[in-house]
Structure 1
Amino acid sequence: MRENLSLKAFVVLMKSSKSVMEHVKNNIHSFDMKTSEFTVLEALHHKGPMTVKQISEAVLIGTGSMTYVIDKLETKGLLERRPCPDDRRVIHIHITDKGTQLMDEIFPRHQQAIENLFHDITPKEKKTIIDVLKRVGKQ
């Protein structure tokens, strides 16, 4: 019987994804943060103010759970809610100075941890991985 390369690619992708996510989760926990908190702060830090819906779409967390995460980060003084001046129904989430200082401190260490995961992979191979995974994701 022939080897099913699609199935093998799927299994390797899933195992690799699990391993990478475990490394990332451990790295984020070393900052005394939950992954969901870190991803929200990271999105706001790099993209600027967003609505809850925009954050939810950016970090792939449901809006119901997002409210809880935002509440926790707001309590810690890392972000704040501000009403939209053009539409009072819309609330924008902003990272605070304290949140920015925290991300400026921990994000480079997080980025280095990810760099370490990919240290044996050439830039050309990384581009290939990105291209292939994008094509798989579009299916």
Structure 2
Amino acid sequence: MNDTTAPLPPDALAHRLTEVYDLVGPLYRRAQRSVEQGLAVDGLSVGVRAVLTLLHRHGPMTVPQMGRAQAISRQFVQRMVNDAAAQDLVESVPNPAHRRSSLIRLTDEGRAAITDVLDREHALLREVGGDLTDTDVATCLRVLGAMLHALDHVDVT
């Protein structure tokens, strides 16, 4: 009988984590399509939504900070910030910690737009069901966080 609470040996762990990757890919793509359909109503792209969400959750940030947080290139984030600024959803303000790297913050319009998007997504996620517990979700977050951390060395720029 196997002890399911004992840490897995590296080879067994790698095989099990492959199963996680096999689910995460389709989950991400389906969620992205669903988000894109919902965002089309608001005239937002997935990239602009990601910028707005980061600023909503963390407050003003620099473009490089957002790139690191999302593991995407600074150039891509800058394009999304420019798109969001063109729609008056974000604005650039002086950064007291760094003269050359402005802080990006939500405007009132941006805050209202991302609040509407997150409220719609929250309503959808309430329908997940499956008798999931807080422990289940905490374990999922721990596993995905460990997988993400293992890939930190991969250069995204």
For 1:72, what is the secondary structure of its paired residue? helix
- Distance in 2, Cα, partners of 1:15 & 1:86: 42
Deviation of the 1:10 alpha carbon = 2.8
Task: Give ranges in structure 2 of 5+ residues lacking alignment.
Answer: 1-10, 151-157
Which deviations, in whole Å up to 9, do the C-alpha atoms of 1:54-99 show, x marking residues without a partner? 1111222210111111111110111111222564323110111100
1:34 equivalent in structure 2: 45
Task: Give the distance between the partners of 2:123 and 2:101, measured in 1 at CA.
Answer: 36
Q: Retained in 1: the 8 A contact 2:39–2:46?
A: no
Q: 2:26 aligns with which of 19, 43, 49?
A: 19
Aligned to 2:123: 112
Task: Please give the residue correspondences for 1:122-133 in structure 2 after superposition, counting only pairs within 5 Å.
Answer: 122-133=133-144
**Structure 1 residues 86 and 122: CA distance shift in structure 2, 3 A:** closer
What secondary structure does 1:31 align onto? helix
Matched, 1:60 2:71: yes
> What is the distance in 2 between the residues matched to 1:88 and 1:94?
16
> Does the aligned pair in 2 maintain the 1:28–1:38 contact within 8 Å?
no
Identity of aligned residues (%): 20
Tell me, yes or no, if structure 1 residue 100 matches structure 2 residue 107.
no
Match of residue 79 from structure 1: 90
**Matches of 1:73 and 1:133, distance apart in 2:** 29
Distance 1:72 1:86 in 2: 25
**Which blocks of at least 5 consecutive residues in structure 1 are unaligned?**
none
Distance in 2 (CA, whole Å) between partners of 1:11 and 1:112 is 30
1:10 alignment partner in structure 2: 17
Separation (CA, whole Å) in 1 of partners of 2:49 and 2:90: 12
Q: In structure 2, the residue corresponding to 1:94 is in which secondary structure? A: strand
Alignment partners' CA distance in 1, 2:17 and 2:97: 47
2:59 matched to 1:43? no
Q: Provide the C-alpha distance between the structure 2 equivalents of 1:23 and 1:11, rounded to a whole number of angstroms.
A: 19
Q: CA deviation at 1:52?
A: 0.8
SS at match of 1:12: helix
